[in-house]
Amino acid sequence: MIPDLPPPTLRLRIDEAALASNWHTLDQMSGSAKAGAAVKADGYGLGVERVIPVLRKAGAEDFFVAHWCEVPAVLAHIPAAMLSVLHGPLTAKDARYARETGVRPVINSLHQARLWLESGGGRCDLMVDSGINRLGIATHEIADPLIARLEIDTLMSHLASADEDSPMNARQLAAFRQVVQHLPARRTSLANSAGIALGEDYAFGLTRPGLALYGGIPRPELEGVIRQVAFPQAAVLQLRNLNAGDSVGYNATFTASEPMRVAVVSLGYADGFLRCRGPDSALLHEGRELPILGKVSMDMIVVDCANAPDLRDGDWLNVAQHLPDSSRDSGLSQYELLTLTGRRFR
């Protein structure tokens, strides 16, 4: 019998009240539309087992994943009728799986429409490409007889540049409005997190926030109303003394100019803390900055603990995770910062 695991050296605190507050904020900003929730990529890296119960209790009734492999973990928390799979059925086996589980496939092409109808059809969602040129049927395909045979629950499209004040937003809005006039559906949906901030014209009947639920701020309108949700922490593995001339880490990119005390911390790029986050950044201990020294390793980083002379082995350090600031400092998108969160966090 395998004994219980010892205490972790990586932990991730989820502020459930902030998550619920973010959903309520986005739902209110959606006006007469209802806010759903994108929970793909394991709840944007925070764990569907943690985020879905909170979102469901807050009032979310529509959830979205990308892959079929994500379905079982989500169905442990919500009824199948609340879940849509964005990539849709690529094979007959996918279509059969959708029918057997009761989840809604999002139809993205005439090929997928044919597969779904040949499997027996039924309730589905339909993605129409309004300009992003990813998944979705082309606007000239909406008159195809296959599309007319679909039982469309949610007719949707996806904005390409909602995080910018781009003329493309208005063009996509106009294109989607044209589609809505010609395709009957129970509901319509266009706006993601940034799209919600563009105003009620973009909300239609259902919005599909993702990033902003989890603390991301893709547009200035969301600053001050979206709260940070994820708070990663890493433990100090070892304290050590360096002499002048000693170097730290791979390729010796940092060399001490004088004696100094450093801490080796249980955090690395395997945990989503990529090397680009190392230069000129720091971990925090009780509000004090501990600058990162040398390169980020797979499982460890080294920090200067001059600002925390009382630091001990096993103490917890906070990883800065205010997503807009971390994005600016690292060059990573807020989406990457969230979804790269490693599985070793507990």
With tokens 């993605």, the residue in question is 127
CB-based burial, 168-185: b 16+ in 10 Å, e otherwise: ebeebbebbeebbeebeb
Q: Which of 40, 202, 214, 269 is catalytic?
A: 40
Sign of CA dihedral 121, 124, 128, 129: negative
Cβ contacts of 335 within 8 Å, gap of 6 or more = 44, 211, 216
The gap between the terminal CA atoms of the chain, to the nearest Å, is 22
Which residue in 219, 177, 175 sits closest to 199, CA to CA? 219
Q: What 3-state DSSP class applies to 197?
A: helix
Place of tokens 């009032």: 59
Residue 40 bears catalytic tag: yes
- Rounded Cα gap, residues 304 and 131, in angstroms: 49
In this structure, the number of other CB atoms found within 10 A of the CB of residue 280 comes to: 8
Phi, psi of 85 (to 5 degrees): -110, 110
d(CA 163, CA 155): 22
Distance CA 232, CA 246 (A): 30
Catalytic residue status for 202: no
Residue of 34, 250, 269, 335 marked active site: 250
Specify the pairing of strand 187-189 against strand 151-156: parallel
Residues tagged active-site:
40, 250
